[in-house]
A and B are shown apart, each in its own frame.
Chain A
Amino acid sequence: MSHSYDHAIGHNHETSELTDTELRVRALESILVEKGYVDPAALDELIETYETRVGPRNGAHVVAKAWSDEDFANWLFEDATAAISSLGYIGRQGEHMVALRNTPEKHNIVVCTLCSCYPWTVLGLPPVWYKSAPYRSKAVRDPRGVLHDFGVELPEETEICVWDSTAEVRYLVIPRRPEGTDGWSEEDLARLITRDSMIGTGLALSPGELQEVAE
Protein backbone atom coordinates (compact mmCIF):
# COMPACT_ATOMS: atom_id res chain seq x y z
CA MET A 1 0.00 0.00 0.00
CA SER A 2 1.33 3.36 -0.94
CA HIS A 3 2.16 6.19 1.37
CA SER A 4 -0.21 8.45 -0.56
CA TYR A 5 -3.27 6.27 0.07
CA ASP A 6 -2.57 6.32 3.77
CA HIS A 7 -2.02 10.03 3.65
CA ALA A 8 -5.10 10.64 1.57
CA ILE A 9 -7.51 8.77 3.79
CA GLY A 10 -5.71 9.26 7.06
CA HIS A 11 -5.17 5.78 8.35
CA ASN A 12 -2.61 3.01 8.21
CA HIS A 13 -3.09 -0.38 6.72
CA GLU A 14 -1.79 -3.37 8.55
CA THR A 15 0.46 -5.61 6.54
CA SER A 16 -1.86 -8.54 7.24
CA GLU A 17 -4.78 -6.68 5.61
CA LEU A 18 -2.72 -6.24 2.50
CA THR A 19 -1.90 -9.88 2.34
CA ASP A 20 -5.58 -10.67 2.65
CA THR A 21 -6.36 -8.36 -0.27
CA GLU A 22 -3.63 -9.94 -2.36
CA LEU A 23 -4.96 -13.39 -1.57
CA ARG A 24 -8.51 -12.43 -2.45
CA VAL A 25 -7.49 -10.94 -5.79
CA ARG A 26 -5.43 -14.00 -6.62
CA ALA A 27 -8.30 -16.31 -5.65
CA LEU A 28 -10.83 -14.31 -7.62
CA GLU A 29 -8.68 -14.18 -10.74
CA SER A 30 -8.06 -17.94 -10.74
CA ILE A 31 -11.79 -18.65 -10.18
CA LEU A 32 -12.78 -16.35 -13.06
CA VAL A 33 -10.28 -18.09 -15.33
CA GLU A 34 -11.36 -21.54 -14.12
CA LYS A 35 -15.00 -20.75 -14.84
CA GLY A 36 -14.07 -19.49 -18.28
CA TYR A 37 -15.30 -15.94 -17.70
CA VAL A 38 -11.98 -14.26 -18.46
CA ASP A 39 -9.12 -15.00 -20.81
CA PRO A 40 -5.75 -14.61 -19.02
CA ALA A 41 -4.30 -13.16 -22.24
CA ALA A 42 -6.92 -10.39 -22.10
CA LEU A 43 -5.88 -9.49 -18.55
CA ASP A 44 -2.24 -9.15 -19.62
CA GLU A 45 -3.24 -7.09 -22.61
CA LEU A 46 -5.41 -4.73 -20.52
CA ILE A 47 -2.59 -4.14 -18.04
CA GLU A 48 0.00 -3.70 -20.79
CA THR A 49 -2.22 -1.17 -22.57
CA TYR A 50 -2.81 1.10 -19.59
CA GLU A 51 0.61 0.68 -18.04
CA THR A 52 2.70 1.35 -21.12
CA ARG A 53 0.68 2.55 -24.11
CA VAL A 54 -1.90 5.09 -22.95
CA GLY A 55 -0.85 8.14 -20.98
CA PRO A 56 -0.57 11.94 -20.83
CA ARG A 57 1.75 11.99 -23.86
CA ASN A 58 -1.40 11.51 -25.94
CA GLY A 59 -2.99 14.59 -24.42
CA ALA A 60 0.23 16.58 -24.79
CA HIS A 61 0.16 15.77 -28.50
CA VAL A 62 -3.42 17.12 -28.73
CA VAL A 63 -2.53 20.32 -26.86
CA ALA A 64 0.69 20.93 -28.82
CA LYS A 65 -1.22 20.55 -32.06
CA ALA A 66 -3.93 22.95 -30.84
CA TRP A 67 -1.22 25.51 -29.97
CA SER A 68 0.40 25.16 -33.39
CA ASP A 69 -2.50 24.72 -35.76
CA GLU A 70 -5.40 27.17 -35.56
CA ASP A 71 -7.71 25.06 -37.74
CA PHE A 72 -7.14 22.08 -35.47
CA ALA A 73 -7.74 24.25 -32.38
CA ASN A 74 -11.05 25.50 -33.81
CA TRP A 75 -12.10 21.93 -34.59
CA LEU A 76 -11.05 20.82 -31.09
CA PHE A 77 -13.21 23.43 -29.37
CA GLU A 78 -16.09 22.71 -31.76
CA ASP A 79 -16.00 18.89 -31.72
CA ALA A 80 -13.31 17.54 -29.43
CA THR A 81 -14.30 13.89 -29.90
CA ALA A 82 -13.74 14.08 -33.67
CA ALA A 83 -10.60 16.24 -33.50
CA ILE A 84 -8.96 13.99 -30.89
CA SER A 85 -10.02 10.84 -32.77
CA SER A 86 -8.25 12.16 -35.85
CA LEU A 87 -4.96 11.74 -33.93
CA GLY A 88 -5.85 8.14 -33.11
CA TYR A 89 -6.93 8.67 -29.50
CA ILE A 90 -10.30 7.08 -29.33
CA GLY A 91 -12.36 4.70 -27.23
CA ARG A 92 -13.05 3.76 -23.65
CA GLN A 93 -13.44 6.71 -21.25
CA GLY A 94 -12.98 9.13 -24.13
CA GLU A 95 -16.18 8.48 -26.09
CA HIS A 96 -17.59 11.98 -25.52
CA MET A 97 -14.84 14.59 -25.26
CA VAL A 98 -14.95 18.32 -24.57
CA ALA A 99 -11.85 20.57 -24.67
CA LEU A 100 -11.67 23.50 -22.25
CA ARG A 101 -9.57 26.54 -23.17
CA ASN A 102 -7.65 28.24 -20.37
CA THR A 103 -7.23 31.99 -20.80
CA PRO A 104 -5.97 34.83 -18.59
CA GLU A 105 -9.63 35.49 -17.68
CA LYS A 106 -10.74 31.90 -17.05
CA HIS A 107 -8.96 28.88 -15.58
CA ASN A 108 -10.62 25.45 -15.88
CA ILE A 109 -10.15 22.55 -13.46
CA VAL A 110 -11.63 19.06 -13.87
CA VAL A 111 -12.78 16.80 -11.03
CA CYS A 112 -15.14 13.88 -10.50
CA THR A 113 -16.66 14.37 -7.05
CA LEU A 114 -18.72 11.15 -7.27
CA CYS A 115 -16.05 8.68 -8.42
CA SER A 116 -13.02 9.03 -10.66
CA CYS A 117 -14.18 9.90 -14.20
CA TYR A 118 -11.13 10.89 -16.25
CA PRO A 119 -10.28 11.04 -19.97
CA TRP A 120 -8.35 7.76 -20.29
CA THR A 121 -7.73 8.07 -24.05
CA VAL A 122 -5.69 11.24 -23.66
CA LEU A 123 -4.39 11.08 -20.07
CA GLY A 124 -4.31 7.35 -19.23
CA LEU A 125 -5.39 6.18 -15.78
CA PRO A 126 -5.85 8.85 -13.10
CA PRO A 127 -3.26 9.41 -10.37
CA VAL A 128 -4.17 8.46 -6.80
CA TRP A 129 -4.68 12.08 -5.72
CA TYR A 130 -7.32 12.61 -8.41
CA LYS A 131 -9.35 9.70 -6.99
CA SER A 132 -8.75 10.69 -3.36
CA ALA A 133 -11.21 12.20 -0.88
CA PRO A 134 -9.12 15.38 -0.36
CA TYR A 135 -9.28 16.32 -4.05
CA ARG A 136 -12.86 15.24 -4.72
CA SER A 137 -14.17 17.09 -1.65
CA LYS A 138 -12.16 20.28 -1.99
CA ALA A 139 -11.96 20.99 -5.73
CA VAL A 140 -15.58 22.21 -6.05
CA ARG A 141 -15.59 24.30 -2.87
CA ASP A 142 -12.06 25.66 -2.59
CA PRO A 143 -10.29 25.25 -5.93
CA ARG A 144 -7.79 27.97 -5.11
CA GLY A 145 -6.87 25.97 -2.03
CA VAL A 146 -6.31 22.94 -4.27
CA LEU A 147 -4.20 25.04 -6.64
CA HIS A 148 -2.20 26.20 -3.62
CA ASP A 149 -1.60 22.54 -2.69
CA PHE A 150 -0.07 22.18 -6.18
CA GLY A 151 1.99 25.36 -5.80
CA VAL A 152 -0.12 27.35 -8.25
CA GLU A 153 -1.42 30.86 -7.50
CA LEU A 154 -3.67 32.73 -9.96
CA PRO A 155 -4.80 36.39 -9.96
CA GLU A 156 -7.87 37.09 -7.80
CA GLU A 157 -9.89 38.29 -10.78
CA THR A 158 -9.36 35.10 -12.82
CA GLU A 159 -12.58 33.08 -12.94
CA ILE A 160 -11.98 29.58 -11.62
CA CYS A 161 -14.32 27.23 -13.43
CA VAL A 162 -14.55 23.72 -11.95
CA TRP A 163 -16.01 20.98 -14.15
CA ASP A 164 -17.54 18.11 -12.18
CA SER A 165 -17.54 15.06 -14.49
CA THR A 166 -20.90 13.72 -13.35
CA ALA A 167 -21.81 12.05 -16.68
CA GLU A 168 -19.88 10.29 -19.47
CA VAL A 169 -18.53 13.52 -20.97
CA ARG A 170 -14.78 13.66 -20.45
CA TYR A 171 -12.91 16.96 -20.21
CA LEU A 172 -9.42 17.88 -21.39
CA VAL A 173 -8.04 21.25 -20.29
CA ILE A 174 -6.02 23.08 -22.95
CA PRO A 175 -3.51 25.08 -20.90
CA ARG A 176 -2.22 28.49 -21.95
CA ARG A 177 0.78 28.43 -24.24
CA PRO A 178 3.82 29.72 -22.33
CA GLU A 179 5.60 32.84 -23.54
CA GLY A 180 8.92 32.50 -25.31
CA THR A 181 7.83 29.51 -27.40
CA ASP A 182 7.25 31.18 -30.77
CA GLY A 183 8.39 28.99 -33.61
CA TRP A 184 8.76 25.87 -31.44
CA SER A 185 7.93 22.56 -33.09
CA GLU A 186 4.93 20.53 -31.89
CA GLU A 187 7.36 17.98 -30.50
CA ASP A 188 9.19 20.56 -28.40
CA LEU A 189 5.95 22.17 -27.26
CA ALA A 190 4.63 18.79 -26.11
CA ARG A 191 7.48 18.58 -23.57
CA LEU A 192 6.04 21.66 -21.80
CA ILE A 193 2.64 20.06 -21.34
CA THR A 194 2.29 18.23 -18.04
CA ARG A 195 -0.51 15.90 -17.02
CA ASP A 196 -1.60 18.31 -14.29
CA SER A 197 -1.81 21.20 -16.77
CA MET A 198 -4.40 19.16 -18.70
CA ILE A 199 -6.45 18.54 -15.52
CA GLY A 200 -6.15 22.19 -14.51
CA THR A 201 -4.25 21.68 -11.26
CA GLY A 202 -1.07 22.86 -12.97
CA LEU A 203 0.16 25.15 -15.71
CA ALA A 204 2.26 24.30 -18.74
CA LEU A 205 5.98 24.58 -18.04
CA SER A 206 7.82 27.68 -19.16
CA PRO A 207 10.95 27.14 -21.28
CA GLY A 208 13.00 27.94 -18.17
CA GLU A 209 11.14 25.38 -16.06
CA LEU A 210 11.64 22.77 -18.77
CA GLN A 211 15.36 23.48 -18.61
CA GLU A 212 15.30 22.92 -14.83
CA VAL A 213 13.41 19.63 -15.23
CA ALA A 214 15.94 18.49 -17.82
CA GLU A 215 18.82 19.27 -15.47
Chain B
Amino acid sequence: MNGAHDLGGMMGFGPVVAEENEPRFHEEWERRAFAITLAMGATGEWSLDESRRKRESLPPRQYLNLSYFEIWLAALEQILADHGLVQPDEIEAGRSLHESRPVKRVLKGEDVAAALKRGGPVNREPEAPAKFAAGDRVTAINMNPTGHTRIPRYVRGRPGTIEAVQGCHVFPDSNAAGQGEAPKWLYSVAFKGTDIWGADSDPSLTIRADLWEPYLEPR
Protein backbone atom coordinates (compact mmCIF):
# COMPACT_ATOMS: atom_id res chain seq x y z
CA MET B 1 0.00 0.00 0.00
CA ASN B 2 1.08 3.58 -0.50
CA GLY B 3 1.70 4.20 3.18
CA ALA B 4 3.83 6.62 5.17
CA HIS B 5 6.47 3.92 5.56
CA ASP B 6 7.49 4.26 1.89
CA LEU B 7 9.80 7.19 2.54
CA GLY B 8 12.38 7.04 -0.26
CA GLY B 9 12.74 10.44 -1.94
CA MET B 10 10.54 12.45 0.43
CA MET B 11 11.89 15.83 1.48
CA GLY B 12 11.68 18.07 4.49
CA PHE B 13 12.65 15.75 7.35
CA GLY B 14 15.87 17.66 7.99
CA PRO B 15 19.40 16.36 8.45
CA VAL B 16 20.28 12.88 9.65
CA VAL B 17 21.29 13.25 13.28
CA ALA B 18 23.37 10.49 14.84
CA GLU B 19 23.58 10.18 18.61
CA GLU B 20 27.05 9.82 20.12
CA ASN B 21 27.55 6.55 22.02
CA GLU B 22 23.94 5.60 21.45
CA PRO B 23 22.62 2.88 23.78
CA ARG B 24 20.91 -0.15 22.19
CA PHE B 25 17.68 0.79 23.92
CA HIS B 26 16.75 4.22 25.27
CA GLU B 27 14.04 3.15 27.70
CA GLU B 28 13.19 0.01 29.61
CA TRP B 29 9.84 -0.25 27.78
CA GLU B 30 11.73 -0.42 24.45
CA ARG B 31 13.60 -3.50 25.70
CA ARG B 32 10.33 -5.14 26.69
CA ALA B 33 8.49 -4.15 23.46
CA PHE B 34 11.37 -5.52 21.40
CA ALA B 35 11.45 -8.80 23.30
CA ILE B 36 7.69 -9.47 23.33
CA THR B 37 7.52 -8.71 19.59
CA LEU B 38 10.26 -11.25 18.84
CA ALA B 39 8.87 -13.82 21.26
CA MET B 40 5.36 -13.52 19.80
CA GLY B 41 6.81 -13.71 16.29
CA ALA B 42 8.36 -17.03 17.34
CA THR B 43 4.91 -18.49 18.09
CA GLY B 44 4.47 -18.97 14.33
CA GLU B 45 0.98 -17.44 14.45
CA TRP B 46 1.96 -14.86 11.80
CA SER B 47 4.85 -14.05 9.46
CA LEU B 48 7.32 -11.18 9.47
CA ASP B 49 5.59 -10.01 6.29
CA GLU B 50 2.29 -9.77 8.15
CA SER B 51 4.00 -7.76 10.92
CA ARG B 52 5.41 -5.35 8.36
CA ARG B 53 2.02 -5.00 6.69
CA LYS B 54 0.43 -4.14 10.02
CA ARG B 55 3.10 -1.52 10.83
CA GLU B 56 2.78 0.18 7.46
CA SER B 57 -1.02 0.11 7.64
CA LEU B 58 -0.97 2.60 10.51
CA PRO B 59 -2.52 5.87 9.33
CA PRO B 60 0.26 8.11 7.92
CA ARG B 61 -0.37 10.82 10.49
CA GLN B 62 0.14 8.28 13.27
CA TYR B 63 3.05 6.45 11.62
CA LEU B 64 5.09 9.63 11.24
CA ASN B 65 4.40 10.73 14.81
CA LEU B 66 5.36 7.50 16.53
CA SER B 67 8.86 6.43 17.46
CA TYR B 68 10.15 3.18 16.02
CA PHE B 69 9.27 0.92 18.94
CA GLU B 70 5.94 2.69 19.38
CA ILE B 71 5.14 1.57 15.82
CA TRP B 72 6.12 -1.99 16.74
CA LEU B 73 3.91 -1.84 19.81
CA ALA B 74 0.85 -0.43 18.01
CA ALA B 75 1.17 -3.08 15.29
CA LEU B 76 1.65 -5.88 17.83
CA GLU B 77 -1.50 -4.87 19.72
CA GLN B 78 -3.53 -4.92 16.48
CA ILE B 79 -2.10 -8.19 15.24
CA LEU B 80 -2.81 -9.88 18.60
CA ALA B 81 -6.43 -8.70 18.37
CA ASP B 82 -6.72 -9.82 14.71
CA HIS B 83 -5.54 -13.29 15.66
CA GLY B 84 -7.85 -13.53 18.66
CA LEU B 85 -4.99 -13.73 21.14
CA VAL B 86 -5.28 -10.52 23.18
CA GLN B 87 -8.20 -8.09 23.02
CA PRO B 88 -7.93 -4.30 23.54
CA ASP B 89 -10.03 -4.45 26.72
CA GLU B 90 -7.46 -6.79 28.24
CA ILE B 91 -4.65 -4.32 27.59
CA GLU B 92 -6.77 -1.59 29.17
CA ALA B 93 -7.45 -3.81 32.18
CA GLY B 94 -3.84 -4.98 32.41
CA ARG B 95 -4.85 -8.62 32.76
CA SER B 96 -6.36 -11.54 30.88
CA LEU B 97 -10.17 -11.28 30.66
CA HIS B 98 -10.97 -13.82 27.96
CA GLU B 99 -10.24 -17.46 27.60
CA SER B 100 -7.15 -17.95 25.49
CA ARG B 101 -6.50 -20.43 22.76
CA PRO B 102 -3.09 -22.08 22.70
CA VAL B 103 -0.45 -20.74 20.29
CA LYS B 104 1.44 -23.04 17.92
CA ARG B 105 4.78 -22.72 19.74
CA VAL B 106 6.13 -21.05 22.83
CA LEU B 107 9.77 -19.96 22.68
CA LYS B 108 11.51 -21.16 25.85
CA GLY B 109 14.45 -19.30 27.36
CA GLU B 110 16.81 -22.20 26.81
CA ASP B 111 15.87 -22.39 23.11
CA VAL B 112 16.44 -18.72 22.26
CA ALA B 113 20.07 -19.05 21.16
CA ALA B 114 19.30 -21.97 18.84
CA ALA B 115 16.20 -20.25 17.41
CA LEU B 116 18.13 -17.06 16.65
CA LYS B 117 20.92 -19.08 15.08
CA ARG B 118 18.43 -20.87 12.83
CA GLY B 119 16.80 -17.59 11.86
CA GLY B 120 14.18 -17.68 9.15
CA PRO B 121 15.70 -18.31 5.74
CA VAL B 122 13.27 -17.36 2.95
CA ASN B 123 14.93 -19.07 -0.04
CA ARG B 124 12.72 -21.78 -1.56
CA GLU B 125 12.79 -24.32 -4.38
CA PRO B 126 11.78 -22.57 -7.61
CA GLU B 127 8.79 -23.81 -9.57
CA ALA B 128 10.06 -22.32 -12.83
CA PRO B 129 13.40 -21.07 -14.16
CA ALA B 130 14.32 -17.42 -13.63
CA LYS B 131 12.95 -15.18 -16.37
CA PHE B 132 15.82 -12.68 -16.19
CA ALA B 133 19.62 -12.88 -16.04
CA ALA B 134 22.32 -10.39 -15.05
CA GLY B 135 22.54 -7.63 -17.65
CA ASP B 136 18.91 -7.86 -18.79
CA ARG B 137 17.10 -4.57 -19.25
CA VAL B 138 13.87 -4.35 -17.27
CA THR B 139 11.23 -1.87 -16.18
CA ALA B 140 9.81 -1.83 -12.66
CA ILE B 141 6.07 -2.12 -13.14
CA ASN B 142 3.84 0.78 -12.23
CA MET B 143 1.58 -0.79 -9.64
CA ASN B 144 -0.27 0.51 -6.61
CA PRO B 145 -1.60 -2.46 -4.66
CA THR B 146 -3.70 -1.79 -1.56
CA GLY B 147 -2.08 -4.74 0.24
CA HIS B 148 1.52 -5.29 1.31
CA THR B 149 4.25 -4.89 -1.29
CA ARG B 150 8.00 -4.32 -1.25
CA ILE B 151 8.32 -2.33 -4.45
CA PRO B 152 9.07 1.23 -3.32
CA ARG B 153 7.10 3.98 -5.05
CA TYR B 154 10.23 5.73 -6.30
CA VAL B 155 11.23 2.86 -8.64
CA ARG B 156 7.77 2.17 -10.11
CA GLY B 157 7.71 2.74 -13.86
CA ARG B 158 11.49 3.30 -14.01
CA PRO B 159 13.97 1.53 -16.28
CA GLY B 160 16.68 -0.59 -14.67
CA THR B 161 19.11 -3.43 -15.32
CA ILE B 162 19.34 -6.79 -13.58
CA GLU B 163 22.53 -6.76 -11.54
CA ALA B 164 22.25 -10.20 -9.93
CA VAL B 165 19.82 -13.05 -9.41
CA GLN B 166 19.45 -13.41 -5.64
CA GLY B 167 17.54 -16.69 -5.59
CA CYS B 168 13.93 -17.76 -5.29
CA HIS B 169 12.42 -16.17 -2.18
CA VAL B 170 9.09 -16.08 -0.35
CA PHE B 171 6.89 -13.44 -2.03
CA PRO B 172 5.84 -10.92 0.63
CA ASP B 173 2.83 -9.61 -1.29
CA SER B 174 1.24 -13.05 -1.00
CA ASN B 175 2.66 -14.13 2.35
CA ALA B 176 1.56 -10.98 4.19
CA ALA B 177 -2.00 -11.56 3.06
CA GLY B 178 -1.98 -15.10 4.45
CA GLN B 179 -2.14 -16.48 0.90
CA GLY B 180 0.94 -18.64 1.13
CA GLU B 181 4.63 -18.14 0.46
CA ALA B 182 4.25 -18.30 -3.37
CA PRO B 183 8.05 -18.12 -3.86
CA LYS B 184 9.25 -15.95 -6.75
CA TRP B 185 12.65 -15.14 -8.23
CA LEU B 186 14.33 -12.18 -6.60
CA TYR B 187 16.70 -9.85 -8.44
CA SER B 188 19.01 -7.06 -7.48
CA VAL B 189 18.06 -4.33 -9.96
CA ALA B 190 20.30 -1.35 -10.75
CA PHE B 191 18.80 2.07 -11.48
CA LYS B 192 20.50 5.32 -12.51
CA GLY B 193 19.83 8.28 -10.26
CA THR B 194 18.89 10.37 -13.29
CA ASP B 195 16.29 7.79 -14.41
CA ILE B 196 14.62 8.04 -11.01
CA TRP B 197 15.02 11.65 -9.93
CA GLY B 198 15.42 13.36 -13.31
CA ALA B 199 17.99 15.75 -14.69
CA ASP B 200 18.70 17.34 -11.31
CA SER B 201 19.90 14.06 -9.84
CA ASP B 202 23.48 13.65 -8.72
CA PRO B 203 24.99 12.10 -11.90
CA SER B 204 27.23 9.83 -9.82
CA LEU B 205 24.22 8.22 -8.05
CA THR B 206 23.12 4.67 -8.76
CA ILE B 207 20.56 2.71 -6.75
CA ARG B 208 20.05 -1.00 -6.21
CA ALA B 209 16.74 -2.45 -5.03
CA ASP B 210 15.85 -6.11 -4.51
CA LEU B 211 12.75 -6.77 -6.58
CA TRP B 212 10.71 -9.92 -7.17
CA GLU B 213 9.91 -11.13 -10.68
CA PRO B 214 6.23 -10.02 -10.60
CA TYR B 215 7.47 -6.43 -10.07
CA LEU B 216 9.43 -6.48 -13.35
CA GLU B 217 8.83 -6.58 -17.08
CA PRO B 218 11.37 -6.78 -19.93
CA ARG B 219 12.16 -3.62 -21.88
Interface residues of A (CB under 8 A from B): 1-5, 7-11, 13, 18, 21-32, 34-47, 49-51, 55, 90-96, 98, 111, 113-116, 124-125, 127-129, 131-144, 146, 149-150, 156-169, 196, 201
Chain A residues lying within 8 Å of B150, measured Cβ to Cβ, are: 114, 166-167
Contact A35 B77 (CB under 8 A): no
Assess A2 versus B91: contact at CB under 8 Å? Given A96-B123, A160-B205: no
Assess A4 versus B17: contact at CB under 8 Å? Given A36-B102, A91-B119, A128-B22: yes
Chain A residues lying within 8 Å of B103, measured Cβ to Cβ, are: 37
Contact B169 A134 (CB under 8 A): no
Asked if B133 CB lies within 8 Å of chain A CBs, one says no
Contact A150 B13 (CB under 8 A): no
Most chain A C-beta atoms within 10 Å of own C-beta, residue among B25, B110, B115, B210: B210
What separation, in Å, do the CA atoms of A122 and B45 have in the docked complex? 28
A49-B113, A114-B52 provided; 20 other pairs, C-beta below 8 A?
A3-B19, A4-B18, A7-B14, A8-B13, A10-B13, A26-B94, A36-B102, A41-B109, A42-B39, A51-B24, A95-B120, A96-B123, A113-B7, A127-B19, A141-B201, A157-B204, A160-B206, A166-B210, A167-B210, A201-B16
Asked if B146 CB lies within 8 Å of chain A CBs, one says no
A-B pairs under 8 A by CB, number: 294
Contact B112 A42 (CB under 8 A): yes
Contact A134 B13 (CB under 8 A): yes
Most chain A C-beta atoms within 10 Å of own C-beta, residue among B16, B32, B90, B211: B16
Which residues of chain B (145-192) have a CB below 8 Å from chain A? Answer: 150-152, 154, 166-167, 169-170, 172, 186, 188
Chain A residues lying within 8 Å of B77, measured Cβ to Cβ, are: 24, 28
Nearest CB in chain B to that of A136: its residue = B7
What separation, in Å, do the CA atoms of A94 and B119 have in the docked complex? 8
What separation, in Å, do the CA atoms of A73 and B197 have in the docked complex? 35
Q: Scoring B residues 104 to 119 as 1 if CB is less than 8 Å from chain A, else 0, what string do you get?
A: 0011111111011111
What separation, in Å, do the CA atoms of A164 and B76 have in the docked complex? 25
Asked if B50 CB lies within 8 Å of chain A CBs, one says no
What separation, in Å, do the CA atoms of A34 and B211 have in the docked complex? 42
Contact B206 A166 (CB under 8 A): no
Most chain B C-beta atoms within 10 Å of own C-beta, residue among A9, A114, A150: A114
Chain A residues lying within 8 Å of B170, measured Cβ to Cβ, are: 168
Nearest CB in chain A to that of B100: its residue = A35
What separation, in Å, do the CA atoms of A132 and B19 have in the docked complex? 12
What separation, in Å, do the CA atoms of A109 and B152 have in the docked complex? 17
Chain B residues lying within 8 Å of A24, measured Cβ to Cβ, are: 73, 77, 91
Q: How many residues of B contact A (CB 8 A)?
A: 97
What separation, in Å, do the CA atoms of A164 and B36 have in the docked complex? 28
Contact A144 B202 (CB under 8 A): yes
Contact B27 A1 (CB under 8 A): yes
Asked if B43 CB lies within 8 Å of chain A CBs, one says yes
Chain A residues lying within 8 Å of B18, measured Cβ to Cβ, are: 4, 127, 129, 149-150, 196
What separation, in Å, do the CA atoms of A138 and B12 have in the docked complex? 9
Pick the residue among B70, B118, B152 that contacts A21 (CB under 8 A): B70
What are 18 A-B pairs at a CB distance below 8 A? A1-B67, A2-B27, A4-B22, A31-B96, A35-B85, A36-B102, A37-B39, A41-B108, A47-B35, A91-B119, A92-B117, A95-B121, A111-B8, A128-B19, A133-B10, A134-B15, A167-B212, A169-B210
Min CB distance B10 to A, Å, is: 4
What separation, in Å, do the CA atoms of A41 and B113 have in the docked complex? 12
Contact A37 B85 (CB under 8 A): yes
Assess A143 versus B122: contact at CB under 8 Å? Given A31-B90, A150-B18, A166-B210: no
Assess A141 versus B122: contact at CB under 8 Å? Given A39-B39, A39-B107: no
Asked if B209 CB lies within 8 Å of chain A CBs, one says yes
Most chain B C-beta atoms within 10 Å of own C-beta, residue among A21, A125, A142, A160: A21
Assess A164 versus B152: contact at CB under 8 Å? Given A21-B70, A25-B29: yes
Chain B residues lying within 8 Å of A3, measured Cβ to Cβ, are: 19
Nearest CB in chain B to that of A17: its residue = B70
